[in-house]
Amino acid sequence: MEINGQTVSGIGRYDEMGLSPELMRAIEKKGYVEATPIQTGAIPCFMDWKDVIAKAPTGTGKTFAFGIPMVEHTDPASSDITGLILAPTRELAIQIQDELRDLCAFKEGVRVVCLYGGQPIGGQISQLKKRPQIVVATPGRLMDHMKRRTVRLDKVQTVVLDEADRMLDMGFVRDVTHILDQIPHKRNLGMFSATISREVLDISWVYQREPVEITVQADQENRPDIAQYRLEADRGEKADVMARLLEMGDYERVIAFCNTKNMTDRLAGLLEMRGISSEAIHGDITQSLRERTLQKFRDGKIRVLAATDVAARGLDIDDVDAVFNYDVPDENEYYIHRIGRTGRARRHGVAFSLVSSISEGLRLDDIARSTGSQIRAVYFNEKGDLVAAAENE
């Protein structure tokens, strides 16, 4: 791990951070003892009210890195919003809320509310009337509440932009800057991201003061254990190939990524026709249905979740057995976020990319070069076994 360009140890323990008994009880209840490198670097900075810009791989514990100090700084007796977290997707916002509520388990009086689109705004207004101190929100829905004057941000002290690169890339730059402009007395701003884009640096330049720069590389300690494979398959045979791989690997929980909403619906149908329980999730599906589908997936009632890249981040699912790129992604970064859904929490994961055209093959070659991914070519031999392409040479 690097802090302001200097290599430092990423080893740390929660009981060495001077945390309150209430927070320690909540952390111990979760079964955690050692802090991740991003937590070891960020928590002391946030506790000292410093601005932070942090780059760390997906799944390295960023929520606790900003959540623990935010909860520690929250006065249970206050009736003002003092902590604000912005997230790019509804799924990520809900996940953050759940983790913060776990941290608040023994800190009576600290209230967390989640604001996101696709849900009736009336219920959220009712929640805001209970005077929460911490708000987790997507930028668009928070703007709606600001226009209705149902939320006040003038007492906010800490602001966090989670998945900052993704949020700004999705077109929320104006919303984010407008929201930050409405927080006159913030004491610190934290930005957490898997990549540091030009837009992220622009926000930092304007809204942060001498930020502490924390970088956690995807080294052997935190790099997901994911075996990556590519298979050549005719477009019309991809569903059959995927079904065959599911049977061979006996994968119980799988996410299959497609590039379009229509393709996710179609794939879910094709798998259902083959006796494989599957449902689609994408931006056109109502929030209530998305949440029900995700819960069924977590409960093991759905074997395959067919998804667009809207689901590549923010899903609170740590035990995905395999990821399928049914379509090769259009962006190199999407590949990393897609396969990052498996191999989490130090489990072994598998990622298959199905290639049906020369252009898809070239895209995957470029992804491998750009991301440093080792993607092994495999095929089915005459016996029906899956073997490495090199064995055929």
- State yes or no: pLDDT of 163 exceeds 50: yes
Q: Which of 94-108, 154-168, 178-192, 219-233 is the least confident region?
A: 219-233
What is the average per-residue pLDDT within 361-367?
91
Q: Residue 344 has what pLDDT?
A: 62
Is pLDDT above 90 for 9?
no
**Where do the H-state alpha helices sit in the chain?**
21-30, 37-47, 62-73, 90-103, 121-128, 139-148, 164-167, 173-181, 198-207, 238-249, 261-273, 287-298, 332-339, 358-371
Least confident window among 6-15, 198-207, 260-269 = 6-15
85 pLDDT above the threshold of 70: yes
Angle in degrees, CA 85, 218, 295, rounded to 5: 50
User: With a threshold of 0.75, does the pTM exceed it?
Assistant: no
pLDDT at 12 over 60: yes
pLDDT in tens, 279-302: 999 878 877 888 888 889 988 999
Q: Which of 111-120, 213-222, 274-283, 320-329 has the lowest mean pLDDT?
A: 213-222
CB 115 within 8 A of CB 141: yes
The percentage of the chain sitting over the pLDDT mark of 90, rounded to a whole number, equals: 58
CA angle centred on 345, ends 341 and 347, rounded to 5° = 80
pLDDT of residue 393: 43
- Quick one: average pLDDT of 124-133? 95
Q: State the Cα–Cα distance between residues 307 and 255, nearest whole angstrom.
A: 7
Please tell me whether residue 112 adopts helix, strand or coil conformation.
Answer: strand
Predicted pLDDT of residue 316: 60
In the numeric block, the tokens 């019309």 are attached to: 236
Q: Per residue in 245-285, pLDDT tens?
A: 999 888 999 999 999 999 999 999 999 999 999 999 987 88
Per cent of the chain over pLDDT 70 is 93
Residues 6+ apart with CB under 8 A from 114: 93, 94, 96, 97, 135, 136, 137
Q: What is the pLDDT of residue 392?
A: 40
Mean pLDDT, rounded, for 147-154: 95
> Which contiguous run of DSSP H or E holds residue 355?
strand 348-355
Q: Has residue 320 got a pLDDT over 50?
A: yes
3-state secondary structure of 87: coil
- Residue 391 is predicted with a pLDDT of 44
Note the pLDDT of residue 6: 82
Q: What are the C-alpha distances in Å from 130 to residues 73, 78, 111, 350?
A: 19, 11, 8, 44
Q: What's the chain's average pLDDT?
A: 88
Provide mean pLDDT across the span 315-331.
84
| 313 band by pLDDT with thresholds 50, 70 and 90 | low
Rounded-to-integer distance, Cα 225 and Cα 216, Å? 17
d(CA 375, CA 339): 12
Find the helix packing angle between 90-103 and 287-298, rounded to 10°.
60
Q: Distance between CA 302 and CA 254 in Å, rounded?
A: 9
